[in-house]
Structure 1
Amino acid sequence: MTHSARPMIPEPYLTQLLFANPRLAPLWAILRIYVGYEWLTAGWAKVTNPAGVWVGEKAGTAVTGFLKGALAKTTGEHPDVPGWYAWFVQHVALPNATLFSYAVAYGEVLVGIALILGLFTGLAAFFGGFMNASYLLAGTLSTNPLLFILATWLVLGWRVAGYWGLDRWVLPRLGVSLPVGRAGGGGRLKST
């Protein structure tokens, strides 16, 4: 049995430049580290909160207050929180507030560390964006729209976003091809 070649869709120059060219790795590193710092500081404040309302003896207290505030935003002609998300908050998140409290606090720290180190950048950015989307669905703006946009860009640019980070060494050991620079030409994907 022979394997036929899979058809490939060529990548346009602009997307190749933005998302696959290691010459832009410094720009992606700045973006990645900024988003990582935002996540790390937010999560660290929760983990080390002296009142223990996120992690500790009163874990779940802060999440419960946040979620009840989200439920209050489900009324009116144009509610801030969609009905299906309100159902999730009421029937899944609130009964498990302590679990969600730990998941949020440590999730933010882990996403922040991974992004700062450039380790599993695309995956970390995806989970960061997922948390941003959750906060947005709960009717909270703050920095969430900006961080969601930046996380989306990091997911798109994962190949070079972690190139100036641990991804450059870890991902190839896991069988993932990363871009390699060539003199005079743009970055090309290394074939495996």
Structure 2
Amino acid sequence: MKKDSTIVIPENPVSRFLFSDSRSGLIWLVIRLYVGFAWLEAGWGKVRSDAWTGENAGAAIQGFVNGALAKSQEGGDVTGWYASFMESTVLPNAKVFGFLVAYGELLVGLGLIVGLLTGIAAFFGAFMNVSFLFAGTLSTNPLLFILGTWLVLAWKVAGWYGLDRWVLPKLGTPWNKKKLQE
């Protein structure tokens, strides 16, 4: 007979408080609102811009990609594989990527501000931050990436002062098909 060799390492009290205790929700509320308003402001400006979603949709992405491609040839800020991806995938589909970025930023901001599916919203925000960093754009991306990553880790309690407080128990989790409250 084979014994179960699984070893469970107990969570430390600080991690348990930050990532599983609803009392930490106020900390995450402040971080969530800061990151959410940054995304909302960026997305709202793009959604209203002709170069992102209007008649000239795609023009802003083309300029962004061309700037990143120039940086890749200067030998530093943009790696070859990412420059190749942007040149072969993003540039020919600039209009689509313009809409994805503009509305993606807006939706991430709204999701974080109202605390709805906070972990998912933060994940997509962090994903966009990494994409911008790979393209050689520094700005606030490192800070927003770090805070977004923390929000992903705190998904259980980051939206406690938001809609997640009621939505997450109704939805349950993919690894536990039962809803948390029935």
Fold equivalence (TM over 0.5): yes
Alignment correspondent of 2:145: 148
Q: Equivalents in 1 of 2:172, 2:140: separation in Å?
A: 35
Q: Equivalents in 2 of 1:7, 1:160: separation in Å?
A: 26
| 1:59 partner amino acid | A
Alignment correspondent of 1:166: 163
Q: Equivalents in 2 of 1:60, 1:191: separation in Å?
A: 45
Q: Which structure 1 residue ranges, 5 or more long, are not aligned?
A: 177-189
Q: Equivalents in 2 of 1:143, 1:63: separation in Å?
A: 19
Alignment correspondent of 1:181: none
Aligned residue among 63, 66, 69 for 1:65: 63
Identical residues among aligned pairs (%): 58
Per-residue CA deviation, residues 28-72 of structure 1 (Å, 9 max, x unaligned), is: 0010011000000100001112xx100011000000000000000
Q: Output the aligned Cα RMSD.
A: 2.1
Q: Deviation of residue 7 (structure 1)? A: 6.7
Structure having the higher helix fraction is 2
Alignment correspondent of 1:97: 94
Structure having the higher strand fraction is 1
Per-residue CA deviation, residues 7-30 of structure 1 (Å, 9 max, x unaligned), is: 754222121011111111111001
Alignment correspondent of 1:119: 116
Per-residue CA deviation, residues 115-174 of structure 1 (Å, 9 max, x unaligned), is: 001000000000000000000000001110110010011011111111111011001101
Contact 2:62-2:91 within 8 A present in 1 as well: yes
Alignment correspondent of 1:44: 44
Contact 2:170-2:181 within 8 A present in 1 as well: no
Aligned residue among 72, 77, 82 for 1:80: 77
Alignment correspondent of 1:135: 132
Structure 1: which 4+ aligned runs deviate by more than 2 Å?
6-10
| 1:160 partner amino acid | V
Residue correspondences, number: 173
* TM-score normalized by the length of structure 2: 0.89
